Amino acid sequence: MSTIVNRRDLDFLLYETLGLDDLLKNERFADYDKESIDAIFDLSQSISEDVFQPFAAKLDANEPVFIDGEVEIIPEVREALNAYREAGLFMTGYDAEIGGMQLPLMAHQAINGMFVCANPAVSSYVFLTQGAANMLNACGSQALRDKYLPKMLEGDWFGTMCLSEPQAGSSLADIRTKAEKQDDGSYKITGTKMWISAGDHELTDNIIHMVLAKIPGAPAGVKGISLFLVPKRRVNDDGSIGESNNIALAGLNHKMGQRGTTNCLLNFGESGDTIGYLVGGENQGLANMFHMMNEARIAVGMGATVMGLGGFLYSLDYARNRPQGRHLTNKDPESPMVMISEHADVKRLLMSQKANVEGALALMYYSAKLLDEQKIAESEEQRNRVTLLLELLTPICKSWPSEFCLEANKHAIQILGGYGYTREYPVERIYRDNRLNHIHEGTHAIHGLDILGRKVRMAGGAALQALAAEITSTITEAAIIPQLQGHCADLGAAMKKVETTLLLVSQEKDPTLALANATIFLDAMGHVVIAWMWLKQAVAAHNGLDGAAKADVAFYEGKLAACRFFFTYELPKAMTQFNLVGQVDDTCYGLSQEQFIGV
Amino acid sequence: MSTIVNRRDLDFLLYETLGLDDLLKNERFADYDKESIDAIFDLSQSISEDVFQPFAAKLDANEPVFIDGEVEIIPEVREALNAYREAGLFMTGYDAEIGGMQLPLMAHQAINGMFVCANPAVSSYVFLTQGAANMLNACGSQALRDKYLPKMLEGDWFGTMCLSEPQAGSSLADIRTKAEKQDDGSYKITGTKMWISAGDHELTDNIIHMVLAKIPGAPAGVKGISLFLVPKRRVNDDGSIGESNNIALAGLNHKMGQRGTTNCLLNFGESGDTIGYLVGGENQGLANMFHMMNEARIAVGMGATVMGLGGFLYSLDYARNRPQGRHLTNKDPESPMVMISEHADVKRLLMSQKANVEGALALMYYSAKLLDEQKIAESEEQRNRVTLLLELLTPICKSWPSEFCLEANKHAIQILGGYGYTREYPVERIYRDNRLNHIHEGTHAIHGLDILGRKVRMAGGAALQALAAEITSTITEAAIIPQLQGHCADLGAAMKKVETTLLLVSQEKDPTLALANATIFLDAMGHVVIAWMWLKQAVAAHNGLDGAAKADVAFYEGKLAACRFFFTYELPKAMTQFNLVGQVDDTCYGLSQEQFIGV
């Protein structure tokens, strides 16, 4: 069985649950139908399984090294990226007007998922490039786009995003990288950037960095940040590669996981001039960067989700083939052992993975659908509504899988026992890979502050109202199915609980205390959203059962069971956490430094 | 600050909370007082900090390798173990009658904790040896003890336990290693053992394996298992080392963490005779092995706990010294940044670590005290009561820290952000080290079955009654302190909930379904026990506050806050989980194989 994608589930989520077929009726996607999309999925699956997946463990064990100022990477990375490029897959997500394939982003998301699951470290080179290209396309001048975009779109040059500095990670207000305007309108960039994924390598002839920096005299803090395109190697007017742009690789960070993506400390303008070009307006850098960041945040969530999927599928396959022990009621040691998938606790560990992973997958495709709907909205009102939903869901998309699909990976290790803990099996690597997702593209805490401090109240609460309307609509649909009525009541109660919790929080006068448990709210709100995704899936599964083939019966019953699992085992935890958030407890907030250990 | 022990807290737990001073009045410990124990703590702390801790990262990055059938380990391991041996620390835990120091096991536990926290991979060599020696001392013949024990006690020879085989991990009933009796009364051992920690190395002249095997004709299953002492190198009658005993190292497992402890696949009797000696009676192997296993299980829990402690102390120190961002209400980007320990979510992540780690530490010392009380009990009734408590608490001691101090390590990484995820900082290594603790010495699931299927009902429920009586006694003590009365009510309600949950579970006629959520019960029951440990600490802190010095005031207030945190943030989660267990839900139990993914 494939350990990177469950195609039956992909069909179920995209078409039966989330209505990709309806989306395909829009003229934007006139070139596509299910058959043509399936063909692209087939191609993607075979390249990811045949080319990306086989060396994921080797790349983890042989991470890029820094030798004489250059990066050495095992050759399989280049070969895999070439195969991806040659198959035309760099173009799946872009609009036709810039030469892209203009696939529905739902399908693009699914393709990305296969590659990340197969080999996350290699896939990062692709996605960072696509993000940088999208940002350049959205914000860059015609001249910059003409010069740099085509090479990036084709994947001939890769891209990065350079935000953090050693002294400024979460606190972008404090970046120090400087951009001084030259007579020709370009800028001299000086400073140090930290944690730059894919920041240096020789996989492509050039690397296009998207760099946040401050122009002297700009306002303090985030209001004075501008965005610059800074190539690793200068590009001549005819598009050929020129001399070095003097970006020095000062070191590679050695990460716990995702080791194959170089993670760099870069010095700009240290050994000679580093020239950059303003993208968008002066001091508009942060807003422009967020074109890339929101996309990146959903991509991080998708990454975390498919890492969960990889662990789930692998541990399921293992559990079905590993004999160990007997049923508890069988006291005869001479009877044959059963497969561990027969043991109740292993079933629970598998189901918990399924519930978290397939719940998160549904949310990822749903979010991609919202991105598609943004593009085809027929009115400003419709577009606003979709945008509000996206804004509210983005912190959940990024954070919930980072927490709960990491938990799934923990369960995958547990199922393999001692084997799971060794590097001869992939599940420990996936667990290590996944741990990063809580940190990059905004930490868990930052997304908590984002959702509770801003998103639930934005536009007078319109985002939350839009979400509530969507959830109510699903409840209405599900409520006519007797076996789902209990879940409908539970989800309705959970939404009420969100409301009362927010009311309690809003009554707190100290704004910092009001947000002190924002991270807990974020996780709990994510549970409500995932429960909704499961109710959606349960409706689709119930409908599918009608006249289904035998194999499909098991599939749909599994979906209904997973929905029941989520509502029985998971949603009550969120209710407990809402109770806590509603207390606006000051236990941690009120602690003095000395109280932690007495000194 | 030390990142391996908080000596102020150690004093608080041992003396102020758990009454080591009372224990010291017993004649068994006549050689010791607080001052002399502190001197041993000082010595232990300095060796663990100066000799063990400095190369923990180097050992992780340079794990033992298998070259030409032999193991190569970096020289620091031998040097550290020599320093430990020369300080006489191998003898801390043994009784005086075999030449040991006969320290209270509470103090022995604390010493072990420092070394494991400093360098878990090296410490394992010590503790496996001590476990094997204890088992030999308890079950071996006089002749075997005379020949092997002195060298093991001194740490001149190391020891192991060999239970698992490639096809038999959790299911010991299915081991295949064979022991055939020879004319001289010894046995020829043939078979393969897997996951043998410290199974081969050249750190000592000999390795004494304690091996489970079956004598031909023995009953099937666990009833036919015997225990054998099998030296790596044969020992002549004069005690000198003889020829090889033909135990072949077939391979090393490459683990995610705890990499410095060799983990071996061993073949017995493959290239020549491997001779073993029966320890205890024929077919009594499993019972005898459990002399070592229970001790090992508590040691695993202590290991998981101090790994949590290491992450907590390191991330606290980091948080106090890393400037990043400003208070939420400060919108002036030109004002100086604050240390991240000022941010509410960082405080929460620190407090969550403190609550889990110091709660677990209290349980570890409490369990050690029960082991001490077993030895000094003045009546059979008293000893029985203590033994029942220990039996009930052992699965919690082993499992709760494995789950919740691993969670603490996850938080430690989060506090360090991107830095925490790199191998330049210790917290990611500790997280990897800790993940193993859920698996070895009985998986989480096995301990769940143990507690719900056996321990809560053993001796007609006497163990649970003994625990309830202890908890009630703490509640009575705490109830006179106004600020603790709410916690008393909560803990009382939690114990009632345990009762009603067990009643609901006992009404289920299908014994497998009744135990299907045993792991969830184990975690929730652990929460109740840790809440009790926090109430104990809160009483001690409240009493300590009376006339305390300024530094102590902060310490005691921190303890009271941590107690409040555990009751407010953690105990309600257990109540939710008891509700779930009481439902005897069959969602996972009833799943067919096909339902997981439709095939």
- Give residue-wise pLDDT tens across range A450-495: 999 999 999 999 999 999 999 999 999 999 999 999 999 999 999 9
Contact call for B351 and A588, based on CB within 8 A: yes
pLDDT over 80 (residue B293)? no
- Position B462 scores a pLDDT of 97
Distance CA A276, CA A19 (A): 44
Q: Which residues of A touch B410 (CB under 8 A)?
A: 435
Contact call for A554 and B516, based on CB within 8 A: no
pLDDT over 80 (residue A375)? yes
Distance CA B13, CA B29 (A): 19
- Position A187 scores a pLDDT of 98
Q: Which of A67-71, A141-145, A179-183, B526-530 has the lowest average pLDDT?
A: A67-71
Beta bridge partners of B196: B264
Q: What is the pLDDT of residues B383-403, one digit of tens each?
A: 999 999 999 999 999 999 999
Q: How far, in Å, are A45, A337, B16, B135 from residue B274 at the CA level? A: 51, 29, 52, 21
**Nearest residue on chain A to B222, alpha-carbon basis:** A333
Confidence of residue B243 (pLDDT cuts 50, 70, 90): very high
The arithmetic mean of pLDDT across residues B96-110, rounded, is 96
Beta bridge partners of B244: B233
Tell me which DSSP letter residue B467 carries: H
**Nearest residue on chain B to A342, alpha-carbon basis:** B593
Confidence of residue A382 (pLDDT cuts 50, 70, 90): very high
Q: What is the pLDDT of residues B223-233, one digit of tens each?
A: 999 999 999 99
Q: Is B570:B400 a contact under the CB 8 Å cutoff?
A: no
The arithmetic mean of pLDDT across residues A242-261, rounded, is 96
What percent of chain B has a predicted confidence (pLDDT) above 90?
95
Q: What is the DSSP track for A224-264?
A: GEEEEEEESEEE-TTS-EEEE--EEEEEE--BSS-TTS-EE
CA distance A392 to chain B (A): 21
- Position A289 scores a pLDDT of 86
- Position B309 scores a pLDDT of 98
Give the tokens for residue A595.
């109280």
Distance CA A92, CA A29 (A): 12
What percent of chain A has a predicted confidence (pLDDT) above 90?
95
Give the tokens for residue A454.
């801003």
Minimal CA–CA distance to A571: which of A348, A340, A356, A354?
A356
**Nearest residue on chain A to B554, alpha-carbon basis:** A595
B471 φ, ψ (degrees, to nearest 5): -65, -45
Confidence of residue A296 (pLDDT cuts 50, 70, 90): confident
pLDDT over 80 (residue A291)? no
Distance CA B395, CA B294 (A): 9
What residue type is B349 in one-letter code?
L
Q: Mean pLDDT over all residues of chain B? A: 96
- Position A364 scores a pLDDT of 98
pLDDT over 80 (residue B294)? no
Confidence of residue A44 (pLDDT cuts 50, 70, 90): very high
- Position A565 scores a pLDDT of 98
- Position B295 scores a pLDDT of 77
Q: Is A28:A102 a contact under the CB 8 Å cutoff?
A: yes
Nearest to B171 among A337, A513, A597 (CB): A337
Q: Is A44 left (phi over 0), alpha (psi -120 to 50) or beta?
A: alpha
pLDDT over 90 (residue A320)? yes
The arithmetic mean of pLDDT across residues B254-279, rounded, is 97
Minimal CA–CA distance to B149: which of B203, B88, B196, B210?
B210
- Position B154 scores a pLDDT of 95
**Nearest residue on chain B to A259, alpha-carbon basis:** B422
pLDDT over 80 (residue B539)? yes
Contact call for A169 and B324, based on CB within 8 A: yes
Q: Which residue in B60, B263, B421, B568 has the most chain A C-beta atoms within 10 A of its own C-beta, making it the best mutation to test that interface?
A: B421
Q: Which residues of B touch A440 (CB under 8 A)?
A: 418
Give the tokens for residue B140.
């071996």
Q: Is A215:A209 a contact under the CB 8 Å cutoff?
A: no
**Nearest residue on chain A to B224, alpha-carbon basis:** A333
Q: Tell me the ipTM for this assembly.
A: 0.97
Q: Which residues of A touch B334 (CB under 8 A)?
A: 220-221
- Position A551 scores a pLDDT of 84
Q: What is the pLDDT of residues B145-194, one digit of tens each?
A: 999 999 999 999 999 999 999 999 999 999 999 999 999 999 999 999 99
Confidence of residue A217 (pLDDT cuts 50, 70, 90): very high
Distance CA A108, CA A101 (A): 10
Q: Which residue in B163, B256, B350, B351 has the most chain A C-beta atoms within 10 A of its own C-beta, making it the best mutation to test that interface?
A: B256
Contact call for A594 and B443, based on CB within 8 A: no
Helix, coil or strand: residue B188: strand
Rounded CA Rg of chain A: 25
Contact call for B337 and A174, based on CB within 8 A: yes
- Position A559 scores a pLDDT of 98
Listed in order, strand segments (DSSP E) in B122-171 are 158-162
Size of interface A-B (CB pairs under 8 A): 312
Q: Mean pLDDT over all residues of chain A? A: 96
The arithmetic mean of pLDDT across residues A6-31, rounded, is 98
Burial letters A147-168, b for 16+ CB under 10 A, else e: bbbebbbebebbbbbbbbbeeb
Q: Which residues of A touch B555 (CB under 8 A)?
A: 594-595, 597-599
Confidence of residue A290 (pLDDT cuts 50, 70, 90): confident
pLDDT over 90 (residue B416)? yes
Beta bridge partners of B561: none
The arithmetic mean of pLDDT across residues B464-474, rounded, is 98
pTM: 0.97
